[in-house]
Amino acid sequence: MTGVTTAAADPVEPEKPRRARGEQTRQLILETALRLFRERGYTETTMRAIAKEAGVAVGNAYYYFDSKEHLIQGFYDRNQAAHRVAAEQVLADEKELAPRLRGVLHAGIDVNAPYHSFAATFFKSAAEPSSPLSPFSRESSPAREAAIAIFREVVDGSTAKLDPELRKELPELLWLGWMGVILFWVYDKSPGQRRTRRLIDGAVPLIDRLVSLSRLRVLRPALRQVLALIESVRRDD
């Protein structure tokens, strides 16, 4: 955890001041862009088309968004929020770990399902490590933390008893698994992405069992080994 007191400059940009009219224009451009993305797909939607449809000059879009890819961030934020809402619904009802996890994962797929066809198109933007859209990027940090928080709630709100060390790591591990599911989903061409659903239904019981077993004394050394691996890989040197 890097403290607030570190000498390095705070990497968060100071959020340019904006007047009411500006915010309105910004919203208009974003709404128009997302609508056109949905209607025609990402690649087929040109910046000129967005500008024309929104009734502004093309340069204006670039005043509010650094690039075409940056428009996608709005999509992300929206779906993230929707996932959170859907997840809370599930978490209020279920108390055991397995159904909680299963419900949250399915909810995530539900939320994204309408966008599967063109999610793949701009998925590549997210894949580039240097892209602000990467789930590991600094810009995505708030969204990432919010997502991990959901999985923390999955764990902490459950009746499952588990090793305290593991409990600390599990939310982030589950989030990583969720990223894997998303990756699978993006590549999943089966009708309605059934294979992804099957993956979730099959993997959750396995994870649940593994987590329960983590409390067994016999498996303590193995668990330690796994946790040590995570720690050593996370170390950034």
Task: Note the residues at the interface with a second copy (CB under 8 A).
Answer: 120-121, 123-131, 134, 136, 186-187, 189-191, 194-195, 198-199, 202-203, 205-206, 209, 222, 225-226, 228-229, 232-233, 235-237
Residue 3 interacts, among DNA, a second copy, none and using kind-specific CB cut-offs from 5 to 8 Å, with none
Residue 225 interacts, among DNA, a second copy, none and using kind-specific CB cut-offs from 5 to 8 Å, with a second copy
H/E segment holding residue 37: helix 20-40
CA distance 93 to 106: 15
| Nearest-approach distance from CB 129 to DNA, in angstroms | 17
| Nearest-approach distance from CB 169 to DNA, in angstroms | 37
- C-beta of 48 vs 95, nearer to DNA: 48
CA-to-CA dists, residue 130 to 137, 192, 206, angstroms: 7, 32, 34
| Cβ atoms within 10 Å, residue 231 | 11
| Nearest-approach distance from CB 75 to DNA, in angstroms | 15
CA distance 161 to 163: 7
| Nearest-approach distance from CB 134 to DNA, in angstroms | 16
CA distance 104 to 106: 6
